[in-house]
Structures are given as structure tokens and as C-alpha cells.
């Protein structure tokens, strides 16, 4: 057995190159401090389901209505996943087949609107996602997206501005949801605005669905016609997507997932999603979710105490976005991200609101606490991590200081390994 919990007994002889590279990435995962906000560490139980014989089965269709024979067991597995998802999120209907968050969004758009329709979503450069209308993504090519942003003063979503844009553009769909925003969304107000302009309302909860499962953030299912999500971010499951919706949209969501957006479901991933939902239904997962937020606040406070500027005034979820210009004017997100990774802290550069630099360079670094919280870190460690990051960035031309900091980062990472 490899330390991953997955047997490499066969792989290590059948394909030495890949086997060794998997071990090398396991080593990377175990020796760095991981702050990429969209990543987490799945349990060994989830990975065993994901690596199972279920990868062998075709099962186009939905439980009880398949285009292939031999789906009796798959039906039970997918139904369990669906029932657990509905139970976890108090949803009327769930589709657990989307291969990813992007596939889930594609199926949802196909089900809710027509090509060419206007959609109001969060601007990419202010925290939205590629699938919210980027010109390089299908969403931007097929639909007419218009974007709301943040208030330049508060760096918060201004619902008055969302309302004005909705009145002006008369969208057929309003999308709430983000990839980098650290403050609450007012689902109730979004829904009122959508109702007033005759738009449907979708929440892309890909980033924060884990915190909804853990009951520390409001549940968008109550307000939205359709909620899309991923299962591999804060929810800590296998890589994959998920759609939750009102009964009214159930048929269309199923139809536009398959055959609309995808072919055969990934049954190994669906089984792993079922395991993840079971884990998320526990009291322990609720404590975990609360700790994710407590840890993000501790990290954010640590930056503020050291004079760094945290975007949107701090955090109320798992995300902390720091303006690298508050270290010094020359420091870019790109330089900060590369340097920190070389010292053992993995995170990503990210545009900040009204960023004067290009999306490839940026003036921000984005961090998230789901991964380090899975590894057992608490507020005390996150304050330490905030201290290390600030010291590394402030002393980036002092080789000796960086060497000492690297040693300290290594010691901390070693005590909090995901698969130690
Ligand atoms: C991560 C994310 C997605 C896409 O998920 P993938 O599984 O990478 O396709 C969609 N929307 C939002 C808001 C996200 O954060």
C-alpha cells in the first residue's frame, strides 16, 4: 500500500513513471502549506470509491431509466448519492452527474435560457468565474453576459447597483456566486430582483457549497431556481460537479446534463460523491466548516495586524484576498505567488477589484483555509502562516532571512500533513 491509501501494488510495476510521479505529488502535498482556496484533501474513503471498478460501467440516463443493461447496482449508487445530496442541502431535486463545476453550469444554462439571452452575473475581474461570461469560455460566446462588480469604496457587492443593472439590461437569468469574494451574498435580495425583472435566479455555489453543507453559510437552495456546485472544493469530495434545483426544473436539468452537456456519467466519481455527502452530513463536518471560517478570520487578522490590506475589509467565509501593493508598490501577485511556493506555501495570484495590472500579473494573492483546516490547523497556526507570508514578502531580497523562514515553514508543514 502506498501512503495515499490506494494500492500501487500493480501500478508501481505496470507503469513506473506514473507511479513515481504520483508518489512525488504525494510528497509535494505532504511538504507544503496549501492555501489554494479551491483545493482540499479528500478522505481515503472518498479516494477508494473514486479508484474503484465502477469506472468500468456505462450508464447513460438516470436511475431506473438507462440506455444500457447491467445498471442495477449503479442505479442504487446514484440514487444514494442523489438522496444524500437532497438531504444535505434540503433540495427538491439533485443531479450528481456533472463532471465538473463548468459542466454543471453548462447544463444549468442550457436548461434555463436560450443562446443569445442576456445574463447578469458577477464580473470576472471582480470575483466571478470563467463560466460567468468570459469571452474565452463557451458562456461568453453563447450568451450575452453583463457583469456587476464591487463598490469601489467598500469592495462589497452593492445590491442597489445589481438592481439598477437588472432594470437596465432586463436579463433572462441572474447569477450569484464567485471564485474570489469573501463576504456574504444576499440571496433573498437577488431573488426579489430576479422576480421583479422576470429573470430566473441561479446560484453558482462551487466555491462555498462546503460551508453551506456545514451550515455556516446561508443555503441558496431556499431562494434559487437552480444551484450549481463542485464537490472537490470546501466540500472535500472527489473532483466533480453537482446541480440542485426545484422540482419544477428537475426534468430539464436532467435532460440538459445528459444528453445536453455530457455523455456517460463517471460512476466511480458518483460513488465517491455519495461518500463525501455522507461525511458532510455529520456533526464533525459542521465543526470542520466552522473551523474553516475561524481560521480564515485568524489569517486575515494576522495580515491586518502586520499592515497588509485585506480586500473587502476581511472575510466571513474561507477566502482571504490580499493586496500585494500593501507590502510595497512594486510587488505583483505573480511574483508573490512564485516566491511563496518556492518557500513551501502554495497559493495563487489573483486580480483584486479594479486591479491596474493584467490578469496574468495581478496585484493580489488569494488564499483559502479548507485544505489547512483538513490538516488540523487551528487559529494559532493560521496566525503563524500569516506571519510567515508577510515576512517572506517583506524580506524577499534577503536570502538569509528567506532560508530561515523556509526552515520554519517546513517544520509547520510537517506537523500538519494531509496524508501523513
Ligand atoms: C471552481 C468554480 C467553477 C468550476 O469548477 P470546475 O470543476 O473547475 O469546472 C465554477 N464556478 C465557480 C464560481 C467556481 O469557483
At residue 46, the pLDDT reads 98
153 carries an active-site annotation = no
pLDDT at 363 over 90: yes
Task: Tell me the CA–centroid distance for residue 206 and ligand 1, in Å.
Answer: 5
* pLDDT confidence band for 7 (50 / 70 / 90): low
Task: Take atom 8 of ligand 1 and give the residue whose Cα is closest.
Answer: 101
204 carries an active-site annotation = yes
* pLDDT confidence band for 199 (50 / 70 / 90): very high
Q: Give the percent of the chain with pLDDT over 90.
A: 97
223 carries an active-site annotation = no
pLDDT digits (tens, 9 = 90+) for 24-79: 999 999 999 999 999 999 999 999 999 999 999 999 999 999 999 999 999 999 99
* pLDDT confidence band for 8 (50 / 70 / 90): confident
Q: Give the percent of the chain with pLDDT over 70.
A: 98
**Closest C-alpha to 39, from 323, 274, 337, 319:** 319
Average pLDDT score, the chain: 96
Give the atom of ligand 1 at the shortest distance from the alpha carbon of 99: 7
Give the atom of ligand 1 at the shortest distance from the alpha carbon of 128: 13
pLDDT digits (tens, 9 = 90+) for 178-190: 999 999 999 999 9
239 carries an active-site annotation = yes
Written as one string, the DSSP assignment of 200-268 is EEEEE-TTTHHHHHTTSS--GGGT-SEEEEESSSTT--SS-EEEEE-HHHHHHHHHIIIIII-SS--HH
* Ligand 1 neighbour 350 (Cβ under 6 A): no
pLDDT at 5 over 70: no
Domains annotated for the chain, with CATH where assigned, are 48-280 (3.40.640.10), 283-415 (3.90.1150.10)
At residue 1, the pLDDT reads 39
Q: How many CB atoms lie within 10 A of CB 158?
A: 15
What 3-state DSSP class applies to 322? strand
Mutational pocket test of ligand 1: of 103, 230, 261, 262, the residue with most ligand atoms within 8 Å of the beta carbon:
230
* Ligand 1 neighbour 242 (Cβ under 6 A): no
Amino acid at each position: 500500500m502506498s501512503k495515499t491509501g490506494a494500492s500501487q501494488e500493480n501500478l508501481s510495476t505496470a507503469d513506473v513513471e506514473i507511479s513515481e510521479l504520483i508518489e512525488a505529488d504525494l510528497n509535494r502535498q505532504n511538504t507544503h502549506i496549501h492555501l489554494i482556496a479551491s483545493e482540499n484533501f479528500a478522505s481515503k474513503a472518498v479516494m477508494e470509491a473514486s479508484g474503484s471498478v465502477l469506472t468500468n460501467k456505462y450508464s447513460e440516463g438516470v436511475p431506473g431509466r438507462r440506455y444500457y443493461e447491467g445498471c442495477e447496482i449503479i442505479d442504487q449508487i446514484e440514487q444514494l448519492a442523489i438522496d444524500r445530496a437532497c438531504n444535505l442541502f434540503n433540495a427538491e431535486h439533485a443531479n450528481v452527474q456533472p463532471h465538473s463545476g463548468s459542466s454543471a453550469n453548462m447544463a444549468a444554462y442550457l436548461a434555463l435560457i436560450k443562446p443569445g439571452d442576456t445574463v447578469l452575473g458577477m464580473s470576472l475581474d471582480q470575483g466571478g468565474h470563467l463560466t460567468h461570461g468570459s469571452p474565452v469560455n463557451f458562456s461568453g460566446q453563447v450568451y450575452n453576459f453583463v457583469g456587476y462588480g464591487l463598490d469601489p469604496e467598500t469592495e462589497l457587492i452593492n445590491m442597489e447597483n445589481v438592481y439598477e443593472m437588472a432594470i437596465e439590461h432586463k436579463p433572462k437569468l441572474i447569477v450569484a456566486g464567485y471564485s474570489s469574494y469573501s463576504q456574504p451574498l444576499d440571496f433573498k435580495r437577488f431573488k426579489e430582483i430576479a422576480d421583479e425583472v422576470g429573470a430566473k435566479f441561479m446560484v453558482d455555489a462551487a466555491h462555498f457549497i462546503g460551508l453551506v453543507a456545514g451550515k455556516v453559510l446561508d443555503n441558496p437552495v431556499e431562494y434559487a431556481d437552480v444551484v450549481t456546485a463542485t464537490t472537490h472544493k470546501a466540500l472535500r469530495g472527489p473532483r466533480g460537479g453537482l446541480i440542485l434545483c426545484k422540482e419544477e426544473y428537475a426534468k430539464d436539468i436532467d435532460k440538459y446534463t445528459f444528453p445536453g452537456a455530457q455523455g456517460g456519467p463517471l460512476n466511480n466519481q458518483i460513488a465517491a460523491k455519495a461518500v463525501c455527502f455522507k461525511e458532510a452530513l455529520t456533526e464533525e463536518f459542521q465543526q470542520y466548516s466552522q473551523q474553516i471560517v475561524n481560521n480564515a478570520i485568524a489569517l486575515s487578522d494576522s495580515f491586518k495586524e502586520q499592515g497588509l490590506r485585506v480586500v473587502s475589509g476581511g472575510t466571513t467565509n474561507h477566502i482571504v484576498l490580499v493586496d500585494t501593493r500593501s507590502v510595497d508598490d512594486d510587488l505583483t501577485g505573480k511574483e508573490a505567488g512564485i516566491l511563496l511556493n518556492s518557500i513551501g506555501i502554495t497559493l495563487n495570484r489573483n486580480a483584486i477589484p479594479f486591479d491596474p495590472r493584467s490578469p496574468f500579473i495581478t496585484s493580489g494573492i488569494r488564499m483559502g483555509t479548507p485544505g489547512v483546516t483538513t490538516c488540523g490547523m487551528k487559529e494559532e497556526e493560521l496566525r503563524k502562516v500569516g506571519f510567515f507570508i508577510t515576512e517572506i514578502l517583506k524580506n524577499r531580497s534577503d536570502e538569509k532571512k528567506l532560508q530561515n523562514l523556509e526552515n520554519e515553514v517546513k517544520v509547520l508543514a510537517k506537523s500538519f500533513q494531509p496524508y501523513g
